[in-house]
Amino acid sequence: MTDPPQSPSTRPALTQREVVNSTDIPLTTLRRWRAQERFPNAYKDSSGTWRIPLGDLLDAGIRLHAPAPPDPGHQEATAEATAAGAPGHGGQDDDVAALRAETLRLEAELRIAEAERAQALAEARADHLERELAARDTHIGDLQRMLQALTPAPERAAIPQPAAPAHPPTTAPAAADSAPAVPPAGVPGKDAGGRRRRLGWGWGSRS
C-alpha cells in the first residue's frame, strides 16, 4: 500500500503505537487486523511507519479514548525521592514529562474530534444528497403527469367519429294519402267512385 493522495478531505491517521495508547487493543492484535486488511486505507508514511486513518478505526468499531493523565502517586513518589537525595529525574524532567503527556492527550482529543467531525460531515452530505434526489424525483413526476394530461390517450384517437349525413332522408308518402277517399256506403247521391248518381229528373236538359 502506498501513500494516499494528499487532499483537504484526507482524514487524520494514527500510528499503531498511538492506536494502542488510545485503545485497549494490544499491538499484536492491531498488527494482525492490519494484515487481515481490516484497515483498507492503512499506509506507510515517508519514514516507513504504518498509519491507520481514524475513519478505518471507526468503521471497524474501535473507539478511541484520551490517554490517561500521569499518575499523581507516581509524581509524588518521584518528588519525595528527589527531596530525600535519591536518584530521580529532577524537577525539570518531571515538567517536561508532564507537558509531553498533556500534549499527547490534547493531540488524541483533537484527532478524535476531527474524525467525528469528518464523519458527521460525510453523513450530512449524504443526507442532503438524498433530499435533493427526492426533490428531483418529485419534480420529474409532476412533469410526467402534466405531459400525460396534455397528450390525448391512444384509445381516443383510435375510435372513429360518426360522420354527419349530407342531406336529410326523404320518406315515401303513405299509401293512404294517395288513395282517393271512398265515401261510406249508403250516402244518397254518390256512387262508390265518389261521383253523383244521375237522377232521371236531375240531369235532363233544361228547356
pTM score of the predicted model: 0.33
- Look at the chain and report how many structural domains it folds into: 1
- Please name the residues in contact with 114: beta carbons below 8 A apart, sequence gap of 6 or more: 11, 12, 54
Run of H or E residues at 44: strand 43-44
CATH number at residue 38: 1.10.1660
Give the span between the Cα atoms of 44 and 165, in whole angstroms: 93
Check: CB of residue 74 under 8 Å from CB of residue 37: no
In a domain, 155, yes or no: no
In a domain, 3, yes or no: yes
In a domain, 7, yes or no: yes
Local confidence pLDDT in tens for the 207 residues of the chain = 555 544 434 567 889 998 888 888 899 999 999 999 999 999 998 899 999 988 888 888 888 775 545 455 555 555 555 555 444 445 567 777 778 877 888 888 888 888 888 888 888 888 888 888 888 888 888 888 888 788 776 654 444 555 555 555 555 555 555 555 555 555 555 555 555 555 455 544 454
In a domain, 144, yes or no: no
Range of the domain at 46: 1-65
